[in-house]
Structure 1
Amino acid sequence: MLTAGVAGTLLASLTACGSGSASGSGVHIVTSVYPLEWLASQVGGDAVTVTNLTEAGADPHEVELSPRQIGTVADADLVLHIRGLQPAVDDAVDQHAADRFLDPADVVDLLPVSSADHEHDGHAEEQHSGADSHSHGGKDPHLWLDPERLAEVSAALADRLSDIDPDHAAAYQENHEAVAGELSDLSAAYTESLDTCARREIVVTHAAFGYLAEMHDLEQISVTGIDSHHEDPSPARIAAVVREIDEHGVTTVFTSPLADPAIAETIASETGAEIALLDPLESLTDDSPGTDYLSVMRANLDALVSALGCS
């Protein structure tokens, strides 16, 4: 990642050439993770151009910004970003867009990491909690896995866009109402489908599903922590998860498109559990079980219903 000094030296020439991946006219919104890109596009409609800083297939927790991307942040009319998720983006916003920044964490309450990462092994708790608390300020950034929270962010985004671009205020509010309706329907589908299930435990390779667990009275049992898809779990942690699977009669280990499949395969071989996909929607990839936020979330619901034995 570039130092602040190098980034500043290159910024003028980069911004003179434009923002790189952004094109078109209207309000320019820069987002840092796919679900926020989706939301900005839905609320902004034809009146905005959206640039996402995390490339498809990349782990957003590990993003580093190029000089051109820093220039894109500096040129933005609005940056939509969850502080603490990506330190490189935090730095770019602080230096170049602090007065044009909307943080969803200022709109909705974030869950503490401890409630999103249900560890039951002492070594694992010590291993994960320190790193997670440092990088995320002790908060879980994956708020988009709760459609109701995302609807609140949609309302705040529509208000901010209306302030920036009053000529399209009515369209922004109308778009928000449409998005909020879709998110409400999605939330209702989750509640109805997950109300009565034979099991309440979800075993995941990445502790991204705390909001889903909180909303629907599920227990997240994670193999690795919340910081990255590329953590190596300790043998003690794997053994602890295997014990949880045996104790609760768990039939499925969930992996994600960005995770190393070997982790789920190891646990499945120890327990006889099946492997299925549960996408935390941190990046949209060719392996995602849908083509946009809504379709992936509905595919996730189908996977949960099957794994948990819901009627």
Structure 2
Amino acid sequence: MKKLITSLAVASVLLIASACSSNTKNDSSIEGLTIYTSIYPIEYFTEKIGGNTVDVESIYPPGADAHTFEPTAKTMAQLAESDAFFYLGAGLEGFAESAAKSLNNENVSLVELGIHESLFSHVDNKEEGHEGHSHGDKDPHIWLDPVRAKEMASYIKEELIELNPEDKELYKENFNKLSKDLTALHEDFQSVVENADHNKFLVAHGAYGYWEERYGVEQISVNGISPSSEPSQKDIERLILTGKKENIDYMIFEKNVSNEIATIVQQEIGAEALSIHNLSVRMREDIDEENDYFDLMRQNLNVLKTVLNHN
């Protein structure tokens, strides 16, 4: 029912927007491409590859929850006037998928990067004791793996070339620079894990499965792939016992997601709280300090280095 209401609301707003915007839509051949995105990594990669030929902005305000965000009428009007909307899909952004269906009647290119199956690992979404929002059978947090992030960026490059073939060589050149930076980040992750004392870490939100797959670490998560999933009482007791048995000194929380159950587990274990960034959106402080994707990922790497080298 909620999904139906959201879809109807989006459609209503777009009817108004299309009536108001027919004469004001950006001419990409003159002003460059106006592109809106969902999550921050898509915004950042599009901006880096597109350079001065694109004007890119995420629809999410600072610190928003990518799962529960609902757009304003102004946001929907801006989307209807843009040249393209890039989003991940894969069950991550409920609003984005509803909006994309409504935008089919607008002159907006809809780019769902998640149609590329090679980006994802498939997961069992019927974890014992966890209920709540489902991502289907895919783990959507691909941007946290530098190798998968590079593949996603390559698809963004191809979409930009399709939208603006005249700047094909620029997009290729900018992608190659980005690709080298992502490779260097991947190598830094490898080095930290290879030289770590341990390979297990305790985290509130199980968004780091691709680190497990890529680097051989093991996340012990309070919640599942979705931060809104709920562990059972049995799961909570098991987590506390595991934390004590493994002598885990830290609980990792995400900056834009509160988690009361994880706080209880942390206190029962006697672990120190550390913060990690899931990068789905930037916080206001990230913007003020001009922290980009690589800054935030390297901050995460420092946190990972700390928790994998506890006493």
Instruction: Bin the TM-score by the shorter chain.
Output: 0.7 to 0.9
- Per the TM alignment, residue 15 of structure 1 is displaced from its structure 2 partner at its CA by 2.9
Distance 1:97 1:201, change over 3 A: farther
Per-residue CA deviation, residues 163-202 of structure 1 (Å, 9 max, x unaligned), is: 2212221111111011111001000100111113222222
**Contact kept? 2:193, 2:217, Cα under 8 Å:** no
- Per the TM alignment, residue 300 of structure 1 is displaced from its structure 2 partner at its CA by 0.6
**Contact kept? 1:142, 1:208, Cα under 8 Å:** yes
- Per the TM alignment, residue 37 of structure 1 is displaced from its structure 2 partner at its CA by 0.8
Following the alignment from structure 2 to structure 1, what is the Cα–Cα distance between the partners of residues 232 and 166?
56
**Contact kept? 1:276, 1:303, Cα under 8 Å:** yes
Letter in 1 for 2:254: S
- Per the TM alignment, residue 29 of structure 1 is displaced from its structure 2 partner at its CA by 1.4
In the alignment, what sits opposite 1:167? 166
Following the alignment from structure 1 to structure 2, what is the Cα–Cα distance between the partners of residues 104 and 9?
26
Following the alignment from structure 2 to structure 1, what is the Cα–Cα distance between the partners of residues 294 and 16?
38
What is the DSSP-based 3-state SS (H/G/I as helix, E as strand, rest coil) of the residue aligned with 1:7? Answer: helix
**Contact kept? 2:120, 2:142, Cα under 8 Å:** yes
In the alignment, what sits opposite 1:109? 119
What is the DSSP-based 3-state SS (H/G/I as helix, E as strand, rest coil) of the residue aligned with 1:194? Answer: helix
Per-residue CA deviation, residues 44-90 of structure 1 (Å, 9 max, x unaligned), is: 11110112111111000112122332233333322211112112211
Moved more, 294-303 or 270-279: 270-279
In the alignment, what sits opposite 1:81? 87
What is the DSSP-based 3-state SS (H/G/I as helix, E as strand, rest coil) of the residue aligned with 2:194? Answer: coil
Distance 1:269 1:59, change over 3 A: same
After TM superposition, the score normalised by the length of structure 1 is: 0.85
What is the DSSP-based 3-state SS (H/G/I as helix, E as strand, rest coil) of the residue aligned with 2:124? Answer: helix
Following the alignment from structure 2 to structure 1, what is the Cα–Cα distance between the partners of residues 67 and 25?
23
Letter in 1 for 2:137: G
Following the alignment from structure 2 to structure 1, what is the Cα–Cα distance between the partners of residues 24 and 220?
45
**Contact kept? 1:14, 1:67, Cα under 8 Å:** no
- Per the TM alignment, residue 39 of structure 1 is displaced from its structure 2 partner at its CA by 0.8
In the alignment, what sits opposite 1:240? 238
Following the alignment from structure 1 to structure 2, what is the Cα–Cα distance between the partners of residues 2 and 94?
8
Following the alignment from structure 1 to structure 2, what is the Cα–Cα distance between the partners of residues 144 and 50?
18
What is the DSSP-based 3-state SS (H/G/I as helix, E as strand, rest coil) of the residue aligned with 1:62? Answer: coil
In the alignment, what sits opposite 2:21? 15
What is the DSSP-based 3-state SS (H/G/I as helix, E as strand, rest coil) of the residue aligned with 1:249? Answer: coil
In the alignment, what sits opposite 1:219? 218
**Contact kept? 2:203, 2:219, Cα under 8 Å:** yes
What is the DSSP-based 3-state SS (H/G/I as helix, E as strand, rest coil) of the residue aligned with 1:223? Answer: strand
- Per the TM alignment, residue 10 of structure 1 is displaced from its structure 2 partner at its CA by 1.7
C-alpha root-mean-square deviation of aligned residues, in Å? 2.7
Following the alignment from structure 2 to structure 1, what is the Cα–Cα distance between the partners of residues 209 and 177?
26
**Count, aligned residues:** 295
Following the alignment from structure 1 to structure 2, what is the Cα–Cα distance between the partners of residues 287 and 225?
27
- Per the TM alignment, residue 123 of structure 1 is displaced from its structure 2 partner at its CA by 2.5
Moved more, 8-17 or 183-192: 8-17
In the alignment, what sits opposite 1:265? 263
**Contact kept? 1:76, 1:97, Cα under 8 Å:** no
Match of 1:252 among 241, 250, 271: 250
Gaps of 5+ in 1: none
- Per the TM alignment, residue 232 of structure 1 is displaced from its structure 2 partner at its CA by 5.6
Following the alignment from structure 2 to structure 1, what is the Cα–Cα distance between the partners of residues 238 and 81?
48
Per-residue CA deviation, residues 205-233 of structure 1 (Å, 9 max, x unaligned), is: 112111122111112221123334x5565
After TM superposition, the score normalised by the length of structure 2 is: 0.85
**Contact kept? 2:18, 2:80, Cα under 8 Å:** no
Letter in 1 for 2:238: A
**Contact kept? 2:65, 2:257, Cα under 8 Å:** no
Following the alignment from structure 1 to structure 2, what is the Cα–Cα distance between the partners of residues 55 and 19?
23
Are 1:196 and 2:206 counterparts?
no
**Contact kept? 1:73, 1:93, Cα under 8 Å:** no
Distance 1:47 1:240, change over 3 A: same
**Contact kept? 2:7, 2:99, Cα under 8 Å:** no
Per-residue CA deviation, residues 105-126 of structure 1 (Å, 9 max, x unaligned), is: 23333122438x9x6xx333xx
Between the two proteins, what is the percent identity of the paired residues? 25
In the alignment, what sits opposite 1:182? 181
**Contact kept? 1:28, 1:77, Cα under 8 Å:** yes
Letter in 2 for 1:201: K
Per-residue CA deviation, residues 97-150 of structure 1 (Å, 9 max, x unaligned), is: 4872222223333122438x9x6xx333xx25xx42xxx222111110011111
